[in-house]
Structure 1
Amino acid sequence: MPAWMLGRERPPGPFRPGFWRSPLRTPWLTSVLGLVLLAGIPVVAVTGLLSYAAYEPRLPGNDLTPDRGLLGFYLFGWPTRPVWLYRVTQGTHVILGLTLVPVLLAKLWSVIPKLFAWPPVRSPAHALERVSVLLLVGGAVFEFLTGILNIQRLYVFPFSFYPAHLYGAWIFLAALVAHVALKWPRVVAALRTRGPRQEPRTPPRDPHPGPPHPGAAGNPGAAGDPGAAGDPGAAGNRGVAGDPARPAMSRRGLLAFTGGASLAVFGLSVGQTLDGPLRGTALLIPHSRSHGPEAGGFQVNTTAASAGIDPSLTGPSWRLALAGTHEVRLSREELLALAQRTYRLPIACVEGWSTEQEWTGVRLADLARLCGAPDAAGVYVASLQEGGAFSHASLSATQAADPRSLLALRVNGADLSPDHGFPARIIVPGAPGVHNTKWVRRLEFRRFT
């Protein structure tokens, strides 16, 4: 049996200190990258939780995470004013999340030797720290990876994105809080060793990279690492290589490379949240850059063909069913004969893209009066789309009563295209794009209990 299996020495490969030889890893570098993430990740987390609230999961048919339990303690009625609210919160969530990816990768690179520390557990306190690191790293990779795949609508994982992303976020945030509490003294000590100007200019092979971590060999008052005694790689406990290789760049170059990569990602994605010339710069735009005339000049998430919409159902025989105290059925021509309202409103999708267009149609409040439900507390919207996750949605009383909430029949002065929801679609100010239901067939005005 190999000696390492008997606990007499370290396992081979990445568990050996000499495996990790880059001299660029230091506690100072790790702390700086961690502070950047600590500033950005809470913003990403809060805007993500706001996105969940915007779905109004307490209303029938809206909840994609029915087992959320106490995780929905903060839910509130999503407002319709300002109309750009969801556009800003979800755009920030996606764009900032993408921008932080290079920083996250650099941070993981800077600490990867610690993930292979030996022995794996030295004390109860060290065990707690290791568990927090495992949950933190696993949670970060899971949240960022599934988020990026969702942006591209690549659902290659064998589970539903929405509940998994929500539950994973809470686990990740709990691990982050625990990790910060455990590591904060080390972060402060590392940042005090040299200033932000001095450290990046320090030669990578500097033998004094910063204070040792608790538990490192030779650290006064520390427990010591029994596996590191007499090991030339024991400096790995300080977050640096014990036998450093020749550096390929300086620490200042590494920071510049990471910052430049983040700026590049930001520049190649932020245009998707804006209208005008900058939209053409969004080379990382989600899953489609087709904004041709057939799409009305702006992005389409789900086409009529991919949603399985039978063209015969949207032709002259189509009727909109209104259900209140009594039922009314209206053709598209009859809807066009009603009072038409025009508003310039944004559509903002969970994938991060958004656009503002001019919509014309009938107020939902006017349709509620037609079917005898002027004081309805909400509206249930059903689509011609069958079997889709968002083939129906419930709108709150606030959303249904807002004077700018429309059953849209036209956009930018022209009839809706099939891909934009012809013959009629919902447009509600401030609502997530998936609740602006396309190919509407029925509106039920009712009180939700």
Structure 2
Amino acid sequence: MRDHPRLPSSPGFWRSPVRGPRFTSVLGLVLLVGITVLFVTGLLSYAAYNPDLASVNDKTPDKGLLGFYLFDWPTNPHWLYRFTQGVHVTLGITLVPVLLAKLWSVVPKLFALPPARSLAHALERLSLLLLVGGGLFVFATGVLNVQLDYIFPGSFYPLHFYGAWVFFAAFLAHAALKTPAALRNLRRMRAGQDEAPDVTPDRGPRATAGAAPHGTDGADLISPRPAPPTVTRRGALWFVGGSSLLLFVTTVGRGADGLLRRTALLAPHGGPEPGSGGNAFQINKTAAYAGVRPVETGEEAWRLVVTGRTGTVRLSRADLLRLPQHSAALPIACVEGWSTSDQLWRGVRLRDLAALVGDGDAPPDVFVESLQRHGAFRHAALRANQVADPRSLLALHVNGAVLSPDHGHPARIIVPAAPGVLNTKWVARLTFGDL
């Protein structure tokens, strides 16, 4: 033990005096709460995307047992998706320092030999490996998608979905195995019991009364040859907490209104504000990016095709303006975590358009098709309860101004509480009926 160990499987290889069961326990209990909320809000996001409705929006491939929780996403309150997805993205980014600190604190366990001393130990090691791998994968894919906008085109949703289930299953197993020990460690910490071994210059580590080697769960995290301390465990926890607070302050504002929007430096801003006046609020993709040409959206060329139980009608923008116009104050909320404040939209109710083709009594689902050529979600499917809501519009104006090309001129969908990508822009066709 006097020689400096060279292999990571040796306890003396890991010399940080900060590592210890109580440091790990505090981080673990924070993650127990935070990751549970993160997982639940993530499942809600998949329900909001209509994975149970039509293949066009199905982001749960083959559904199977993992689709057991799916339900019709409600339209009340109108800010529901803005809130749940804002919590999901902001909390996920805020927990990154806690997750990294937790993984750092338990890294000696990944190299410990023998691989399994008992069945319980083998289960703990397996859950730890899945937890580390799943955690890094889920957090990395989520953060990359938020920051770089569809970095995994066509594959992010199933990758993130299945990765989250693997990670959370390992997380639950690990929590069941380790939470009792974590609570015992915290009780000892409150009682003021020491967990660090007393190191003497000549004789190495010496257990003192109440020291970890004889009484603390997870004592194998403590180095038998700790390096000189540069920070206390409490200081390390303050550093992790301060890092999380910094990430929170620089992320949360894009999912809410107020002064914090100016501090949201790490959250995506949805691109530059297009135009001015009523259209001066965030977008996710421009008309140029989507491949929508001005010649297609002009008054002479553009027609909305509406199909339903009794046939098909074709409507110009002038025809739509002659129909009863209604207004709704609704936000745009994106999966990347940014959202707008309520914007005042004006247009034709979706249920009134359904009535034009014989579906007025009980509006059915609707399949929406866009002029968009590039990017994801060129099509969308809305549930019957969304079509029936009086605030669900085919919008022609916003905040008193005609829709700009980047906001979906000549017409776009706006539905309360729906993810932004289901509020289809540059609408070309509506097909009402069971999907």
Q: Given that residues 28 and 210 in structure 1 are in contact (C-alpha distance below 8 angstroms), is that contact kept between their aligned partners in structure 2?
A: no
Q: Indicate the larger mover: 45-54 or 336-345.
A: 336-345
Cα distance in 2 for partners of 1:157, 1:62 equals: 16
Equivalent residue for 1:137? 132
- Describe the SS at the equivalent of 1:348: coil
Q: Given that residues 383 and 391 in structure 1 are in contact (C-alpha distance below 8 angstroms), is that contact kept between their aligned partners in structure 2?
A: yes
Q: Pick closer, same or farther for the CA change 1:136–1:201 going to 2, 3 Å.
A: closer
- Describe the SS at the equivalent of 2:332: strand
Displacement after TM superposition at 1:208 (Å): 5.5
What is the one-letter code of the residue matched to 2:248? F
Displacement after TM superposition at 1:326 (Å): 1.5
Q: Given that residues 203 and 250 in structure 1 are in contact (C-alpha distance below 8 angstroms), is that contact kept between their aligned partners in structure 2?
A: no
Unaligned runs of 5+ in 1: 1-9, 223-235
- Describe the SS at the equivalent of 1:15: coil
Indicate yes or no: 2:361 matched with 1:367: no
Q: Pick closer, same or farther for the CA change 1:308–1:208 going to 2, 3 Å.
A: farther
Cα distance in 2 for partners of 1:159, 1:401 equals: 30
- Describe the SS at the equivalent of 2:36: helix
Equivalent residue for 1:443? 430
Equivalent residue for 1:175? 170
Cα distance in 2 for partners of 1:107, 1:395 equals: 41
Cα distance in 2 for partners of 1:209, 1:249 equals: 24
What is the one-letter code of the residue matched to 2:285? T
Q: Given that residues 200 and 251 in structure 1 are in contact (C-alpha distance below 8 angstroms), is that contact kept between their aligned partners in structure 2?
A: no
Cα distance in 2 for partners of 1:209, 1:305 equals: 71
Indicate yes or no: 2:110 matched with 1:115: yes
Displacement after TM superposition at 1:154 (Å): 5.0
Indicate yes or no: 2:81 matched with 1:86: yes
Displacement after TM superposition at 1:210 (Å): 6.6
What is the one-letter code of the residue matched to 1:132? S
Indicate yes or no: 2:413 matched with 1:418: no
Displacement after TM superposition at 1:88 (Å): 0.8
Cα distance in 2 for partners of 1:298, 1:367 equals: 27
Indicate yes or no: 2:33 matched with 1:50: no
What is the one-letter code of the residue matched to 2:430? L
Cα distance in 2 for partners of 1:120, 1:371 equals: 67
Residues 274-312 of structure 1 show CA distances to partners (whole Å, capped at 9, x for unaligned) of 234331211012165523536922211111111111221
- Describe the SS at the equivalent of 1:285: coil
Match of residue 342, structure 1, among 327, 350, 372: 327
Displacement after TM superposition at 1:416 (Å): 1.1
Q: Pick closer, same or farther for the CA change 1:88–1:173 going to 2, 3 Å.
A: same
Q: Pick closer, same or farther for the CA change 1:118–1:309 going to 2, 3 Å.
A: same
Indicate yes or no: 2:231 matched with 1:249: yes
Displacement after TM superposition at 1:319 (Å): 0.5
Unaligned runs of 5+ in 2: 200-204
Residues 306-335 of structure 1 show CA distances to partners (whole Å, capped at 9, x for unaligned) of 111122111121000111111111111221
Q: Pick closer, same or farther for the CA change 1:335–1:273 going to 2, 3 Å.
A: same
Q: How many residues align?
A: 420
* RMSD over equivalenced CA pairs, Å: 2.7
Q: Pick closer, same or farther for the CA change 1:411–1:287 going to 2, 3 Å.
A: closer
Residues 169-197 of structure 1 show CA distances to partners (whole Å, capped at 9, x for unaligned) of 1111111111112113321332232218x
Equivalent residue for 2:202? none
Equivalent residue for 1:227? none
Alignment of 1:323-342 (within 5 A): 323-324=307-308, 325-342=310-327
Equivalent residue for 2:381? 394
What is the one-letter code of the residue matched to 1:296? N
What is the one-letter code of the residue matched to 2:414? I
Alignment of 1:282-301 (within 5 A): 282-286=264-268, 288=270, 290-293=272-275, 296-301=279-284
Normalised by the length of structure 1, the TM-score is 0.87
Q: Given that residues 351 and 363 in structure 2 are in contact (C-alpha distance below 8 angstroms), is that contact kept between their aligned partners in structure 1?
A: no
Q: Indicate the larger mover: 366-375 or 354-363.
A: 366-375
- Taking every aligned residue pair, what percent have the same amino acid on both sides? 60
Q: Pick closer, same or farther for the CA change 1:159–1:312 going to 2, 3 Å.
A: closer
Displacement after TM superposition at 1:162 (Å): 0.4
Q: Given that residues 370 and 425 in structure 2 are in contact (C-alpha distance below 8 angstroms), is that contact kept between their aligned partners in structure 1?
A: yes
Q: Pick closer, same or farther for the CA change 1:131–1:385 going to 2, 3 Å.
A: same
Cα distance in 2 for partners of 1:54, 1:195 equals: 43
Indicate yes or no: 2:187 matched with 1:163: no
Match of residue 24, structure 2, among 30, 38, 48: 30
What is the one-letter code of the residue matched to 2:302? W
Residues 138-170 of structure 1 show CA distances to partners (whole Å, capped at 9, x for unaligned) of 111111111101112355569711011111111
Displacement after TM superposition at 1:441 (Å): 0.1
Q: Indicate the larger mover: 254-263 or 285-294.
A: 285-294
Cα distance in 2 for partners of 1:204, 1:412 equals: 69
Equivalent residue for 2:70? 75
- Describe the SS at the equivalent of 1:290: coil
Displacement after TM superposition at 1:129 (Å): 1.4
Displacement after TM superposition at 1:341 (Å): 1.1
Equivalent residue for 1:229? none
- Describe the SS at the equivalent of 2:288: coil
Normalised by the length of structure 2, the TM-score is 0.90
Q: Given that residues 20 and 219 in structure 2 are in contact (C-alpha distance below 8 angstroms), is that contact kept between their aligned partners in structure 1?
A: no
